[in-house]
Structure 1
Amino acid sequence: MEERSTIFVFIDDESKPLAKLVSPVTLELDTRKLPDGDHVLKIVSKDPSGKEGIRKIPFVVRNGPAIVVEGIRENDVVDGVLPLMVNAYGKGDQKNFVIVGSETPKGIPSWVWIMVVGFFGWALYYLITYFTI
């Protein structure tokens, strides 16, 4: 009978493994038990001869309400008074989608304003040259 590798699954810097399994295996990681933020999934494998292999996979958990901030970005250099719009909404669960509050209104980008002004400027130029002929 062929011996198989043993797999230990750790989250972050925990000393106690989340699971001890025999390969090959499939498992589900329930992120609802983890706080929002940065985490590391560490998988340690030991083969029958005693050799070890380690794989670390960083990931981010965002189970809490989504937070959207309009008016400032990460690492912006700012001064004066900043008008901010903040929206937070829950995502529901995997069976039901919560639609109320899940759309964040956004300001119109400057390139759209430039296109609109350019179009109306061209249309006005066209009308003036059309009627002066």
Structure 2
Amino acid sequence: MEDNRIVKVYLDDEPKPFAEFSPPVKFVLDTTKIPDGKHTLKIVARSSSNVEGVRTIPFEVRNGPEISVVGLKKNEVVDTQIPITINAYGSETKDSFVIKGSETPQAIPAWVWALIISFVGFAMFYVIMYWKPELYKSFF
């Protein structure tokens, strides 16, 4: 009996497959040759009885540096002047680590400020209510 099983692999909406294999198969997808952004891998497999099965796998490629923007959110409505901080960092250098620009500076979250204010407020309340010299006499 002839084995006509075949697996075809397509990238995005290309009409021609970039790879054809006889199952089972292992291959390495080199994403350095694919532009950054959202893509789909479409796998079409044909069984020995000529029945086809299709599976699509969406994925995102990000080979370039990570871009971080502080001060402007997606679909935000803005007016007047707004300060924007842009940082881009990636893993291009394998042998050295660049400290400057490795982290994006961000504001301290509001919940941290609320926690600090609550702690300081409780400490002041405790000092005012319970600080009496007769409670702190020396045993010596």
TM-score, normalization: structure 1? 0.86
Amino acid at match of 1:59: F
Per mean C-alpha deviation after superposition, the further-off stretch among 76-85 and 108-117 is 76-85
User: 2 CA distance for matches of 1:92 and 1:80?
Assistant: 37
Contact 1:92/1:98, CA 8 A, preserved across alignment = no
Matched with 1:88 is 88
Measured on the aligned residues, the alpha-carbon RMSD in Å equals 2.1
Contact 1:6/1:46, CA 8 A, preserved across alignment = yes
Per-residue Cα deviation, 1:27-58 (whole angstroms, up to 9, x for no partner) = 11111101100111010111222221111111
Matched with 1:55 is 55
Unaligned 5+ segments in structure 1 are none
Q: In percent, how many aligned pairs have the same letter? A: 49
Alpha-carbon shift at residue 64 of structure 1 (Å): 0.5
Q: Aligned pair 1:103/2:103, yes or no? A: yes
Q: Aligned pair 1:40/2:40, yes or no? A: yes
| Secondary structure of the corresponding residue to residue 117 of structure 1 | helix
Greater gyration radius: 2
Counterparts in 2 of 1:63 and 1:26: CA distance versus 1, 3 Å: same
| Secondary structure of the corresponding residue to residue 102 of structure 2 | coil
Alpha-carbon shift at residue 16 of structure 1 (Å): 1.9
Alpha-carbon shift at residue 122 of structure 1 (Å): 1.1
Unaligned 5+ segments in structure 2 are 134-140
Contact 1:66/1:91, CA 8 A, preserved across alignment = no
What is the aligned length? 131
Alignment of 1:11-50 (within 5 A): 11-50=11-50
User: 2 CA distance for matches of 1:98 and 1:62?
Assistant: 21
TM-score, normalization: structure 2? 0.82
